[in-house]
Structure 1
């Protein structure tokens, strides 16, 4: 009878550990995606399109002339022409979702996640800072990082 009590105790402890682990995992999940105002959503959809088409020039055209990209394990890239050069090897499937945004006059930001296809969880996160120029939202800085390091990092 004593062995059964120990087994119940171990099972209870195991279930407690599992529930803590699951609650920690749930707390670390990406926030729920939100809808953006049309003019901000255009920035994300254009970014996806140009990325998927491996079109570095069009990607760079989404940035202000003095824009930045801040990528993991790479130096800071400043300026539209340097951004175009940095994005020469860009391409592949890309889905951007927004978790939060703010606009104040002619400045704003979008915080979100990115993934390779709609049905998958986000594999990374980003923040875009924006400036409105001539009535159009432009990216002033793009900073992203993966949720987990690549195998070769």
Structure 2
């Protein structure tokens, strides 16, 4: 039951067991978001997702859940799915990791915009490296709100000639909570 005019305290219950488990309280949802981020930075363990439950004391149960993601894990899973699609030669499946209005800055080509243009560019790349094995290595990343960046290297092995290079992706969090690349630039290490 909600109480009119009362101060609302929102609680954050840290979901990990052990000495780091505990409850944290604040008086506004805005402060709660910052508190949840701080709790994650202080208490999350590397490569693990931390679930925070948000409690409203005027409700009989939790009214929502806030899941703080491990961005490194998100990007590693993203790259694994993307590489699998690339290695199958499936440009449409690769495009699913990108926004509808993606901007692609591919080497030796004009800038393109949109998923259709992305698919055409990538199908051409896949046709050239048919049978090659594509892999990415995460070098650096960052996240602020609904935007993230990813810097990495890529290689296409078992193709003649093999290829290696680097890339920068700018990702946007989608309404469903997933991340998709909005801007991608890559180029080869070849002179």
TM-score by length of 2: 0.54
What's the CA shift for 1:50?
1.0
1:102 is the counterpart of 2:137? no
In the alignment, the residues of structure 1 paired with residue 83 and residue 91 of structure 2 have an alpha-carbon distance, to the nearest angstrom, of: 12
Going from structure 1 to structure 2, the CA distance change for 1:139 and 1:64 (only over 3 Å counts) comes to: same
Equivalent residue for 1:123, pick from 159, 164, 169: 164
Query: Structure 1: how far apart are the matches of 2:117 and 2:183?
Result: 13
Cα distance in structure 2, aligned partners of 1:90 and 1:55: 11
Distance, in Å, in 2 between the alignment partners of 1:148 and 1:84 is 24
Instruction: Give matches, 1:1-153, under 5 Å.
Output: 37-91=72-126, 92-117=132-157, 123-133=164-174, 134-149=176-191
Equivalences, count = 111
In 2, the alpha carbon distance for the partners of 1:72 and 1:89 equals 13
Bigger strand share? 2
Partner-residue secondary structure (3-state), 1:148: coil
Q: Cα offset for 1:124? A: 0.8
RMSD value, Cα: 1.7
Q: Which runs of 4+ in 1 moved over 4 A?
A: none
Q: Which has the higher helix share?
A: 1
Structure 2 residue ranges without an equivalent (≥5): 1-46, 48-70, 127-131, 158-162
The structure whose RCO (Cα within 8 Å, separation 6+) is larger is 1
